[in-house]
Structure 1
Amino acid sequence: MTVGILLVSHNNIGTELINTARQMLSCCPLPTKVISIQTKDNPEAIRLEMDEDLKKLDQGHGILILTDMFGSTPSNIACAVSDRTDIRVVSGLNLPMLIRVLNYPALNLEELEIKALSGGQEGVVRCHHTGYSRK
């Protein structure tokens, strides 16, 4: 069972995140594609591109779309194509979310969606001074 992963983001955010994840994991265990949206891009043209990418990624087990920010153009376009039951969209893409998803390539679409949510949320932490100092 292989779920396809589509990253949809502003500029090169998705590209840089997947490149970093590949370096960290030494591979990319799931089929992935990145759509980078520039401010000058036509949303309808991007939607058509996304439809084509979804066809290429679809191996019969669903597609998880990860977008960088809810309510933004990348997220809105992704939500517009998510009327299929085999597509899930999660916004708030960050490196911990992506690593978490890629670490579980055998999970089904619903389980990967949950991993994306937990990875993204747990990857945001408040760092504070612990009292350690260099001498």
Structure 2
Amino acid sequence: MSIGLLIITHNQVGHTLLQTAVNMMGICPLSTEVMAVTTDCDPDELRTTTQRLIAQLDQGDGVLVLTDMFGSTPSNIAYDLLDEGRINVVAGINLPMLVRVLNYAPLDLKELTSKAISGGKDGIVCCRKAETA
């Protein structure tokens, strides 16, 4: 068994992030689904689809849901399904977060959630040029 991964984002952000991460790594070690939320989507239909995807992904070890911007429709849909310890939700997905999750796929849901958060935070760096002498 393993953790399922559901990515819920605006438009094609999730698809693009997943495709990029898989291209970098050469593999997607988790059972993963992506749901794109557009401005013309029906929120009730999205919730039904999300419930179906979570049921499909949950093999007994839980599902980690990654979503883009906290407080937006994708994160609100995910938040409605939050069941800590079985369905964990992390908002603010970025490529370092996703790569970290895929690199630590064997971890349990609690540890994988922590890795997602640390990967997202640690992946944000203010780039500066080195001073020359």
TM-score by length of 2: 0.96
Q: What are the equivalent positions in structure 2 for 1:1-135 lying under 5 Å apart? A: 1-83=1-83, 85-131=85-131
Could you give the per-residue CA deviations for residues 90-132 of structure 1, whole angstroms, max 9, x where no partner exists?
Answer: 0000000000000011100000000000000000000011147
Deviation at 1:83, TM superposition (A): 3.3
2:79 and 2:89 in contact (8 A); partners too: yes
- Count of aligned positions: 132
C-alpha distance in 2, partners of 1:110/1:27? Answer: 23
SS at match of 1:8: strand
Quote the offset at 1:20 in angstroms: 0.4
Amino acid at match of 1:111: E
The gaps in structure 2 that reach 5 residues or longer are: none
Deviations 1:24-46 (A, max 9, x none): 00010011000000011011100
Structure 1 residue identity aligned to 2:107: L
Distance 2:108 2:14 in 1: 22
CA offset at residue 84 of structure 1?
5.8
Q: Percent identity?
A: 48
Q: Is this contact kept in 1: 2:85–2:109, CA < 8 A? A: no
Pairwise CA RMSD: 1.1
CA distance in 1: counterparts of 2:83 and 2:27, whole angstroms: 31
Structure 1: tracts of 5 or more residues without a match: none
Q: Name the SS for the 1:99 alignment partner.
A: helix
TM superposition score normalised by structure 1: 0.95
Query: Which secondary structure state, in structure 2, belongs to the residue aligned with residue 66 of structure 1?
Result: strand
Q: What stretches of structure 1 move > 4 A for 4+ residues in a row?
A: none
